[in-house]
Structure 1
């Protein structure tokens, strides 16, 4: 792991321009600019400073997310076009709000009929002026772009093609015809194009364009080219210059050839606007200090906040219960490290086989052409093996130009990789590959290409093997299986949490923080409920023994059953369709019994039947009963996480609807169109949106959120780049259950940690919290004021959390009463 970074110099543009808080809106045709504009008065009343919009550029028609961009020069018409966006910006400004927008530099939609630059490349080939846009390996596939769109092998699909003028059609796909080929017989016509339509299954091994992870429908864009950068960022930069946008969120910078250079160019072009990057940091990994950004989008904060409310001893006990119940092999869900390694091997040789193959070809070509004797005479298979063994041992997403690659591709990893070879002389390929990654053989164009492709492949491998595979195989505690999470060590001690916050305030005071996003697999409130199980693993063990006998014939497999029971515990009473959808996605991602590309209909039917009859059937009542008994502790976790998130260092991003109780599973459940609360009850509640007043188990969450956000808006100096962060330790027998900190000596946040353990131990007893000097007013319970040394039981008398503001100096009478 990379060592602790020295103190970072904070650019001036990272300070005053930072928002005080953002509110994420997931735009889509069912929630366009006009709907967002109508919600502005309500959103402004919450206390946020900026609305955080999902991508707004032209996307594939009907897209529910907007990350499949097809035209960087136009604002999306389905959302209301540029006129609608500018109208939203004006209305937001009238209510004191700015706009922050999500941009997608890494990829575009592989949809030729909507993507004009791609259309021109397919029509004109490598001589097209747009050929430089896309990362296509023209040396492979006979100089033609492989298009994996056919439902079967070409021979069985020929009669589905239609020639319509200069357009080739295949069902709803459209492709341009190369000039002079429209009158050729179909087989010859297909052979004459700059592209090759093939069976979709060939994408795994034959694809010759860079894509987003393993999604062939998203083609990589070469924004490292200055002309491509200018063309793909012109409209966004224009909207920034016009004041429509005031900040940026950069999607997936790890997919780029050189994130360092890209972010420098973006920083200069945007005039140093507040920018955060969707960078997933491993546990202990620092954000590159050289990046001219305010910080990340907040998954590292999510991990630390969630971990604070996870009991380490109970998590270990829960792991033992899980292993007894599910009996998973170590590399298929029984051990976190072994599960990740097994998944990495599988992803690299299956889903990313084409990326692995291209990287091996680059390495072999570089070695064959090199003047360095040490690079000669290495067989492609040896280089490929070395690459595979090093890639699966990369413990973070990727190395960067501005950081030491030897801390990512380590000497220890190289030693392990060499041990795989049976002939020591052939194991030298490992050293060759590592030295190429570390830049020890020169810095020519081919060397730079190799390093970039290694890093890009590494990031795709990490995302697919960890987030999209291992998270669905290793499932003792589902709340830990979140983007940026550390399922093998889910708990974070108060000391570690405070140290993390101190580093944020020192190095990245304008960073984003988040608890729920459009990509979280479970919303914060679902995770908060699940983490309670670490405080009572014995009760969970007993419940499972009651609802799932080990010899039950209707259980598809015990790992899936475990995940299903935890899902309904975290979610609470829910529509069975939502749970079935989430569990089917779960088992396909896990890839143990069925998969997205190799589905087992019988197994999936068994999973659906089990969910209906078990977790969502009569046995599910037992889960609901346990959740009801633990409701006070769920409430403590939900409110505690919310308050910590909203008052810790950084800029909190509030996902749509999460200001109230918000119970949602993975997309599409958590991407339902936003429905602002109605001004008077009863309030409706669609799946995935904030719960209604009648069903909300934690009705005070909205009040807490609004109080904290309005406080941030009213006193930005207390929370901004020049603010301070100081832990505040309780004293007494139950001190470990109170986590408190003070911002700039003016605002105090205190939360209850592990409340179930606290109750089992007899409550707070004589535990006290010595407040800093001054009079402190409770912002959550009107009329309460504190000074001096306060009994924690009194502080948390009405709520498991407290938000206090210093409103004056204490008096001698106060000191006599509370001292």
Structure 2
């Protein structure tokens, strides 16, 4: 197995393709990257900026290049000894006309070869979608779109189709008869009943009208294709028939007098295997599983071996050919049976590096347990959010009264005191009630079906079961459980019991329903059930598990984290805003567990999905160290900007919570370079609209409040407008410069910890320099690689001639980001030189003594007589004045690093190449004499 030394995430799209990637491969190698970590590269919806909306699993995305282009790119990588880790999407495909599998299902229904590929409930209890697939892709009500001539019937070489802007869906073959038979006399009178082409038309009608009797899929498809072929030949070869069909299309489209009030087209649409609807319908009535709440992404049944084989065929071929050396599995919790999926994938791909996108939240004080990833999964680890939240949290000042002060400032500014735990539950319930109401309804209908089989369940109403399911889901303490027909793990048992207990406390009137749900989820009394009943119970459990993950993700990541703004650097995927900082001991414990169980998990700090970049969080974390100063500043800003708010009779725009969120965002993202400022204003304006819609308080994607959004963006534009009168902007700049300075050292410390902690350091594109990006699409802006290539070459040349002089220069010019690039390449170089040490080495927390011991994190990695010591500072506002680097004994005084006897060695600082003599204790001022972080390498005598 090829374990990456360091990965670099590239977001491929039409603006950055395989040819573009070829140009930067030498740079990545020079930087110290061992593996490209690629966003999805299979054919996606045209114009996709991310690749997760796959339309064809059998080909490389032509917008990125050809398969040969891909092979050439990988060949160039392999010549440099580099690998390719591929992000794949097993859970869903695009609900789009380019998805031939789905279009075949929409056209042929149960006669499609792909009928069972998608997670669709064909027997839905709602009569208007029973036997059909809901197509909630209209921008308005169905009748409105129809009567506005937005839904059009068309004919081309592929046959008849329904079109709505870019959406094109083929009609089922049976409905062709309506279009051909309509006023057929008109064309037969012109050509004559004996005309050969009229006879062919009648033959077509005969086949169409009798095709319902054909149950063999292959024969049906042959007859359908025959009809389309002959009709196409007639249309192209006979102008009278062409005019007849074109005229009928216009009549059905209500374009010819006398108008039919769209009844013909409506009747035609009612005869299809799909039902067009307003996109908002998908939130409440739905008979297919989506990716989260995105109607345009329809989920697959990859639990079926034939679906797995088909959708993984090309990826497995590329793995077996040695082109792909690692896989990252997107949204593992969305799969029906993640364990079975991973075992099947491992069997097909052999000894290959595999990580999964699995969210494991930091421990919550109000839940009894912390989630653990199933230790039996045949993988190397996660994509790194667990590390991200752990390493970020050690830079949040949690000592003394800081947490209470930060909390009080938030309450005072916003006049909101609801605890995060309550907000989290409220928002999960909101999502279950609104955005995922259709998914909950489907679970309730399924449970009602089961309940009706037993006397103890027959009196449960659909409404009661629905309410009970919602409560269990919202109180579920983790993203999902992993119950299958095998033995139930103790952890899953505890999660379910915990959720049920909390749900009962919330709604004691539904105690019987909750007991019933617990019985089903824990698969109790299985010995007394028939095989059919056991299968039904298990299927409900599996569907429940698939529902809990998107509910948690939407309720927490995409709602609660946009509502609770005490310290938004903690509002991250898998993070816990309720946990204001962790101790060094907790961080060490996390790393030791990681080394024991998931040695090769990715260590991420910024990803394509993070709410804000690591550098943004590094700045905002500084606020936790200076609560009094932060309070003074933010209260002053509130006063200065009060006149720019918009007052209505109901509310203030923005409200205090959104304003507080905005100020933290500005601190975290304010650019170093003045030339970036105009773009910065536009970025913030776009961002706040997304943020307040995600919060779902004043506006939402389902129901936008344009007034709130417009007034908020106007507020942003006004307070950021440069002018002599804008006192706020002047104060913001001054305060930002100070916070940004301390943020630099937080960011450098996080970078070194990422590279040297157990795991594989992962770098998101462009973040080797300062990156102050927000959530997508902001973090998917183009990267200036030419600049990075040039800077790295200069740094390496300068390091060879005068590395200490270079370090001094980098500290003086910290704003240009070269200091981060320098640290990255020097540490990755050390990692490559001692790869076994960092991949296999034991993790040993080290003791720091002296006055400023709490301001340092130190640990050793030890393997085969070689030791690496990582030393990083934190909480520097309490140690140094602004613009005074944390270097030397003048700063660190009597603070010392304790070196265990077994690690005594002559030390080399991997960053500066300085030599440090062995000793039982080493002065921090000596270690951090020239650079604010250190990586010491020593070789011990046997």
Which residue, out of 791, 797, 815, partners 2:929?
A: 797
1:152 paired with 2:140, answer: yes
Which residue, out of 551, 564, 571, partners 2:669?
A: 571
Structure 2: runs of 5 or more not aligned: 179-263, 363-369, 527-532, 646-653, 672-676, 794-809
Structure-2 residue corresponding to 1:188: 267
Which residue, out of 148, 152, 155, partners 1:162?
A: 152
1:712 paired with 2:796, answer: no
Q: What SS does the aligned partner of 1:78 have?
A: coil
Structure-1 residue corresponding to 2:5: 20
- Deviation at residue 329 of structure 1 after TM alignment: 4.9
Structure 1 contact 26–673 (Cα < 8 Å) conserved: no
Alpha carbons of structure 1 residues 292 and 530: separation in structure 2 relative to 1, 3 Å: same
Which residue, out of 275, 279, 285, partners 1:206?
A: 285
Question: CA deviation digits over 1:666-723, x for unaligned, max 9?
Answer: 111111233324344699xxxxxxx9x9883543111111111122222111011x32
Which residue, out of 867, 878, 888, partners 1:757?
A: 878
- Deviation at residue 734 of structure 1 after TM alignment: 1.5
Alpha carbons of structure 1 residues 695 and 505: separation in structure 2 relative to 1, 3 Å: closer
Q: For 1:695 and 1:795, how far apart are their aligned partners in 2?
A: 20
Q: What SS does the aligned partner of 1:549 have?
A: helix
Q: What SS does the aligned partner of 2:288 have?
A: coil
Question: CA deviation digits over 1:439-476, x for unaligned, max 9?
Answer: 11437221121011111110011000000000000011
Matches within 5 A, 1:487-502: 487-502=577-592
Question: CA deviation digits over 1:245-293, x for unaligned, max 9?
Answer: 0000000011111111111111111103110000000223211111111
Matches within 5 A, 1:611-760: 611-615=716-720, 617=722, 618=726, 619-678=728-787, 679-680=789-790, 696-720=815-839, 722-744=840-862, 745-759=866-880
Which residue, out of 97, 101, 106, partners 2:86?
A: 101
Matches within 5 A, 1:172-571: 172-184=166-178, 185-283=264-362, 284-313=370-399, 314-330=402-418, 335-369=419-453, 372-401=454-483, 403-404=489-490, 406-407=492-493, 409-421=495-507, 423=509, 426-442=510-526, 444-549=534-639, 552-555=642-645, 556-571=654-669
Structure-2 residue corresponding to 1:586: 691
Alpha carbons of structure 1 residues 497 and 238: separation in structure 2 relative to 1, 3 Å: same
- Deviation at residue 550 of structure 1 after TM alignment: 8.4
- Deviation at residue 631 of structure 1 after TM alignment: 4.0
Alpha carbons of structure 1 residues 808 and 724: separation in structure 2 relative to 1, 3 Å: closer
Q: For 1:797 and 1:477, how far apart are their aligned partners in 2?
A: 33
Q: Which of the pair has the greater relative contact order for Cα pairs under 8 Å at 6+ separation?
A: 1
The farther-off stretch of 313-322 and 46-55 is 313-322
Q: What SS does the aligned partner of 2:580 have?
A: coil
Structure-1 residue corresponding to 2:203: none
Structure-2 residue corresponding to 1:780: 911
Q: Which has the higher helix share?
A: 2
Decide which structure has the larger Cα Rg and report it. 2
Q: For 1:271 and 1:422, how far apart are their aligned partners in 2?
A: 51
Q: What SS does the aligned partner of 2:636 have?
A: helix
Q: For 2:539 and 2:829, how far apart are their aligned partners in 1?
A: 49
TM-score normalised to structure 1 length: 0.92
Structure-1 residue corresponding to 2:107: 123
- Deviation at residue 759 of structure 1 after TM alignment: 3.4
Q: For 1:394 and 1:784, how far apart are their aligned partners in 2?
A: 54
Q: For 1:715 and 1:681, how far apart are their aligned partners in 2?
A: 25
- Deviation at residue 800 of structure 1 after TM alignment: 2.0
Q: What SS does the aligned partner of 1:363 have?
A: helix
- Deviation at residue 764 of structure 1 after TM alignment: 2.5
Structure 2 contact 520–541 (Cα < 8 Å) conserved: yes
Structure 1 contact 29–79 (Cα < 8 Å) conserved: yes
- Deviation at residue 75 of structure 1 after TM alignment: 0.6
- Deviation at residue 170 of structure 1 after TM alignment: 1.7
Structure 1: runs of 5 or more not aligned: 1-15, 684-690, 811-819
Q: For 1:213 and 1:512, how far apart are their aligned partners in 2?
A: 24
Structure-2 residue corresponding to 1:82: 67
Q: For 1:93 and 1:792, how far apart are their aligned partners in 2?
A: 42
TM-score normalised to structure 2 length: 0.80
- Deviation at residue 415 of structure 1 after TM alignment: 2.9
Q: For 1:711 and 1:129, how far apart are their aligned partners in 2?
A: 54
Q: For 1:682 and 1:380, how far apart are their aligned partners in 2?
A: 64
Q: What SS does the aligned partner of 1:713 have?
A: helix
Question: CA deviation digits over 1:614-633, x for unaligned, max 9?
Answer: 25653133122112223442
Q: For 1:610 and 1:404, how far apart are their aligned partners in 2?
A: 52
Q: For 1:659 and 1:422, how far apart are their aligned partners in 2?
A: 54
Structure 1 contact 135–222 (Cα < 8 Å) conserved: yes
Q: For 2:392 and 2:403, how far apart are their aligned partners in 1?
A: 13
Structure 2 contact 792–821 (Cα < 8 Å) conserved: no
The farther-off stretch of 501-510 and 553-562 is 553-562
The farther-off stretch of 170-179 and 243-252 is 170-179
Aligned length: 778
Alpha carbons of structure 1 residues 621 and 634: separation in structure 2 relative to 1, 3 Å: same
